[in-house]
A and B are shown apart, each in its own frame.
Chain A
């Protein structure tokens, strides 16, 4: 299974993306097979969420860090791309000022703040979409892990982190468009955003990045580093008394995970056409955790599946009964926790990547030993006398 999901997951992601792209571009709008730009855009959005889910699964599934603030890194990546897209509007804005975005003119600013310089260059924005989440994650992680903050306390400060950013980005004088954020983007790297070809290209690009992020995550957890990480998750003090420094192991995966989330956010913004502080909302981070729980924590491919399925459900349900979504999401989380604690991939695929997580449904600790001993005893093995 391990080998199979390694090749199958990227093949499915890229395969579906290419099929959607062909059906969108090569069929006439009247054809029954035609896939609309709207559907292509949705698929692209789901793939960005899948990258966020992968990032969450890396730290939650393999390092035991239950992050309730990962959407912050996603949003920061998104803001970096949003700043580029805003500068790209140039003189086509309402105030027709090539040097200053509309919202800055509106609040009476005369010149571009220093931290906006460079964002007119696409490659610079792309690099910053990686660096900004990475730096924040590294600083936050260094302080938190070095102080040995863990468990629910760590979850709470990740939540506080994203909430603090939400409040900060709401402020107009931060210079990121305040409450309204940034929107009305015209084009990306010279390609108009309102064209089918651009929409499709962005979706296929999202698929390629999702597949690449998946393969990278698989390599990471399959390495000896990944084995130590799981050891830290399961018995942190043991790793410390073996001479490992768990704080550095967590810091590395935490920072890499923030970068994956940042890429997701950077691809998300040109596809949805807007970035505003609501992306920092704590509920977004919690939703990402639910995607991973549904798909299967610690399976990576499950995280992608969960993100796509839950968001597909969200699209359907918010279309049919807009008010019911939060109840449905909460109910889903409770049901999955109670009846499918290993998620879809963990339940239906016998053994996925890396070590399996013990779950509520099976005996743990001494009970597990007793039941194992009973099984062996039934099989005629004398468990008390090792060979």
Chain B
């Protein structure tokens, strides 16, 4: 606590300022500054290697930035915390490749994700409760997997696994969801349903979506941040950024 954490506007939920991260001489994140308002949904796009995943890693504590501020809520410094503490603080993360507990049932996947005491001593004595069952039922309905509750996660289709993982995020009851390419490998119908699901989630929580699929980003209809070479290239509505000459340069090349 050498100096007070930098602060964004009071309405900010997440605030990154001047963040740098270098891997073996490669500048993955270069003086990145982004802020996300409470209740906002933001789409982050950018070519491969733009630093989207590294940004997620830095927010969730997997990677420590070399320099810069990462502040959650009014004054929580995320650079000082590890993954479990950040998760317990209320930041959920969905991986690019759907990551569920394959040898557990859909129901148990959600059960283990439910917000609660995470210590081994607690789980050793934990009993099923009615409150838990009710929450899981509600989640199953949200992610449209009610009829699959007893199936092993390993046996779900790709799209269903993506939804299950989103359901697990919701079960954590986070304030902020970071969602990495949620519609990769989904059919058009599933993509449409996922956009709907995320808009639904956004009613009560803030969401950051990293996505390549422009149709999907358009369907979300939210503010877009374009990353390039580790910093923000452009920000605005999808139409605005698509019209930005810098973005056209990066995406179409010269």
Interface size for B (C-beta < 8 A) is 45
- Collect the chain A residues with CB atoms within 8 Å of residue B113's CB: 242
B190 contacts chain A at the CB level, 8 A cutoff:
yes
- Collect the chain B residues with CB atoms within 8 Å of residue A368's CB: 154-155
The smallest beta-carbon distance between A198 and chain B, in angstroms, is 37
Among the stretches A45-53, A97-105, A316-324, A354-362, the one at the interface with B is A354-362
Among the stretches B22-30, B33-41, B69-77, B80-88, the one at the interface with A is B80-88
Q: Which of A228, A237, A369 contacts B123 (CB 8 A)?
A: A228
User: In whole angstroms, how far apart are the Cα atoms of A245 and B124 in the complex?
Assistant: 14
The smallest beta-carbon distance between A42 and chain B, in angstroms, is 36
B195 contacts chain A at the CB level, 8 A cutoff:
no
- Collect the chain B residues with CB atoms within 8 Å of residue A355's CB: 103-104, 152
User: In whole angstroms, how far apart are the Cα atoms of A231 and B104 in the complex?
Assistant: 8
B2 contacts chain A at the CB level, 8 A cutoff:
no
User: In whole angstroms, how far apart are the Cα atoms of A31 and B73 in the complex?
Assistant: 82
- Collect the chain B residues with CB atoms within 8 Å of residue A235's CB: 99-102
Residue of B nearest to A298 (CB): B103
Given contacts A242-B112, A243-B118, A355-B152, whether A234 and B190 have CB atoms under 8 Å apart is: no
User: In whole angstroms, how far apart are the Cα atoms of A385 and B192 in the complex?
Assistant: 12
B168 contacts chain A at the CB level, 8 A cutoff:
yes
Residue of B nearest to A240 (CB): B83
- Collect the chain A residues with CB atoms within 8 Å of residue B168's CB: 238, 242
A109 contacts chain B at the CB level, 8 A cutoff:
no
| Contact (Cβ within 8 A) B124 A369 | no
The smallest beta-carbon distance between B78 and chain A, in angstroms, is 13
| Contact (Cβ within 8 A) A248 B119 | yes
| Contact (Cβ within 8 A) A358 B104 | no
A27 contacts chain B at the CB level, 8 A cutoff:
no
Interface residues of A in 338-387 (CB under 8 A from B): 354-358, 366, 368-369, 372-373, 383-387
- Collect the chain A residues with CB atoms within 8 Å of residue B111's CB: 224, 227
User: In whole angstroms, how far apart are the Cα atoms of A299 and B149 in the complex?
Assistant: 24
Residue of B nearest to A219 (CB): B124
Q: Which of A230, A369, A372 contacts B101 (CB 8 A)?
A: A230
- Collect the chain A residues with CB atoms within 8 Å of residue B101's CB: 230-231, 234-235, 238
| Contact (Cβ within 8 A) B120 A225 | yes
Number of cross-chain contacts by CB at 8 Å: 111
Q: Which of B92, B100, B112, B146 contacts A228 (CB 8 A)?
A: B112
- Collect the chain A residues with CB atoms within 8 Å of residue B183's CB: none
Residue of B nearest to A250 (CB): B120
Given contacts A228-B123, A248-B119, A355-B103, whether A240 and B108 have CB atoms under 8 Å apart is: no
Interface size for A (C-beta < 8 A) is 37
Chain A contact residues, majority secondary structure? helix
User: In whole angstroms, how far apart are the Cα atoms of A237 and B152 in the complex?
Assistant: 19
User: In whole angstroms, how far apart are the Cα atoms of A241 and B87 in the complex?
Assistant: 6
A116 contacts chain B at the CB level, 8 A cutoff:
no
A244 contacts chain B at the CB level, 8 A cutoff:
yes
Per-residue B-contact encoding for A269-286, CB less than 8 Å = 1, 0 else:
000000000000000000
Per-residue A-contact encoding for B100-141, CB less than 8 Å = 1, 0 else:
111110001001110000111001111000000000000000
B158 contacts chain A at the CB level, 8 A cutoff:
yes
Residue of A nearest to B101 (CB): A231
The smallest beta-carbon distance between A233 and chain B, in angstroms, is 8
User: In whole angstroms, how far apart are the Cα atoms of A118 and B101 in the complex?
Assistant: 48
| Contact (Cβ within 8 A) B104 A387 | no
| Contact (Cβ within 8 A) A387 B103 | no
A223 contacts chain B at the CB level, 8 A cutoff:
yes
Residue of A nearest to B127 (CB): A224
Among all A-B residue pairs, the 4 with the closest Cβ atoms = A355-B103, A243-B87, A225-B123, A224-B126
A-B CB contact pairs (8 Å), 29 listed: A224-B111, A224-B126, A227-B111, A228-B120, A230-B104, A231-B101, A234-B101, A235-B102, A237-B95, A238-B100, A238-B168, A239-B112, A241-B60, A241-B93, A242-B112, A242-B172, A243-B84, A243-B85, A245-B118, A248-B120, A249-B120, A252-B120, A355-B103, A357-B103, A358-B103, A384-B187, A384-B190, A385-B189, A386-B148
Q: Given known contacts A243-B84, A384-B159, what 18 new A-B pairs fall within 8 Å (CB)?
A: A223-B124, A223-B126, A224-B123, A224-B124, A225-B123, A234-B104, A237-B83, A238-B95, A238-B100, A241-B92, A244-B84, A252-B124, A357-B103, A358-B102, A373-B157, A384-B157, A386-B148, A386-B157
